[in-house]
Amino acid sequence: MLTITKSMIEKISKIMDLDKKEKEILSKYFKIQKANLKIKKHSYKAFRIIHNNSLGPGKGGIRYHPNVSEDEVKSLSFWMSLKNSLAGLPFGGAKGGIIVDPKKLSQDELQELSRKYVRAFHKHMGQDKDVPAPDVYTNPQIMSWMLDEFEKINDKKEPGFITGKPVELGGIRLRNDSTSKGGFIIFNELAKKENIKNSRIAIQGFGNAGYFMAKHLSKNIVAVSDSSGGIYDPKGLNIDKVKNIKDEKGSVQNYSAKKISNKELLELDIDILVLAALENQITKENASRIKAGYIIELANGPISNDADGILFKKKITVIPDILANSGGVVGSYFEWLQNKTGTGFEDSYIERMFDQKMKETFNKVYNEYKNSKHDMRTAAYVIAIRRILDAERLRGRI
């Protein structure tokens, strides 16, 4: 992943005509922290990395996964810098992770691991320093344990230290499906601009983000998939029934429809393809076979660098991840703001402000895209990097 980050910086540097100092700023990491967390006889390597803090405190999730690595966390913290900057938020980019399979831990061991993570890094965290959130295989319960540990250590209440919490501990109702809700708003704005109607939509990935996106778009869904495979019905799927069957039997493939592979779903003759699963799903090997006119990246990095150029030549419009899935961090921003100010915002106010923020960000990217010779991903990167470098310049670091 770090190789992709470096190649992207080189590509954008040429487009923006960045000098050596500006490239160094983008390539530099403000803080790299590591620790070994011991639970019984096992030791788990943990990371918390802040890429850039020129716009505000670090902001980014914590993932628990066997494939976590320092390079991955570095790359993800860089992408969080861009995502937060693009959305106009007062945050820098950060990310964290633990090399662990959480499914192999008991609930007590999971709690102990989460508390030890905070003990390892608490001096560098806080609502004005670095604000974590849930990511892969972490959830509101884990955020609750981390909040409790942080407040015990510091002997004060600071709910703004972490986002993605339960409502009872200062979370907001919007946060649970903010990623998909943001993606849905982006889709609607795109549909207005491009006059998209009566779309046939396929969604790869039926986890939290994929399911909620399917709910928002339920009338037009003809295919969905999970890790076991997918289902396809050109007449449309009953999303509530698909969800019930997946919950009861473990896979969407138990639903009464044509069974297809994840590979086949990607290459269906459809209008909109929503990628809500894993990275590198569309590569140079299959990009030429993609038939959808529009792709929405609800997952992080589902399209490889070399596939981007192929899709652009095919005139397939890609809504990049740092725009399409930014609803998660925008929702987190309103939670953090509520906690930091001690103000209890009405749900309707948060919904209205969230909607406005997502639309503003989309239109900013869309206008840049239309006024350039590049794809929408490049347009988003240019806007995000410009804001970071402007902040660095104003601080006298460039």
Please state, for a pLDDT cut of 70, what percent of the chain lies above it. Answer: 100
Q: What is the pLDDT of residue 136?
A: 87
Mean pLDDT throughout 287-296?
A: 97
Look-up: residue for tokens 């993609």? 290
What is the DSSP annotation of 245-295? HHHHHSSGGGSSSEEE-HHHHHTSS-SEEEE-S-S--B-TTTGGG---SEE
Which positions are annotated as active-site residues? 95
Mean confidence (pLDDT) of the chain: 95
**Helix-then-strand count for the chain, H and E:** 14, 13
Confidence of residue 2 (pLDDT cuts 50, 70, 90): confident
Mean pLDDT throughout 272-298?
A: 95
Mean pLDDT throughout 240-249?
A: 96
Q: What is the pLDDT of residue 325?
A: 95
Mean pLDDT throughout 49-65?
A: 97
Q: What is the pLDDT of residue 140?
A: 96
Q: What's 284-325 look like in SS3?
A: CCCHHHCCCCEEEECCCCCECHHHHHHHHHCCCEEECHHHHC
Q: What is the pLDDT of residue 176?
A: 78
Confidence of residue 159 (pLDDT cuts 50, 70, 90): very high
Confidence of residue 363 (pLDDT cuts 50, 70, 90): very high
CB 69 within 8 A of CB 41: no
Residue type present at position 239:
I
pLDDT at 1 over 80: no
Q: What is the pLDDT of residue 157?
A: 97
pLDDT at 76 over 90: yes
Confidence of residue 218 (pLDDT cuts 50, 70, 90): confident
Domains defined for the chain, CATH in brackets: 24-171 (3.40.50.10860), 178-324 (3.40.50.720)
Confidence of residue 243 (pLDDT cuts 50, 70, 90): very high
Please write down the long-range contacts of 243-246, taking CB distance under 8 Å and 24 or more positions apart.
Answer: 243/206, 243/211, 246/206
Summarize pLDDT for 172-200 with one digit per residue, the tens.
Answer: 998 878 999 999 999 999 999 999 988 89
pLDDT at 277 over 80: yes
Q: What is the pLDDT of residue 90?
A: 98
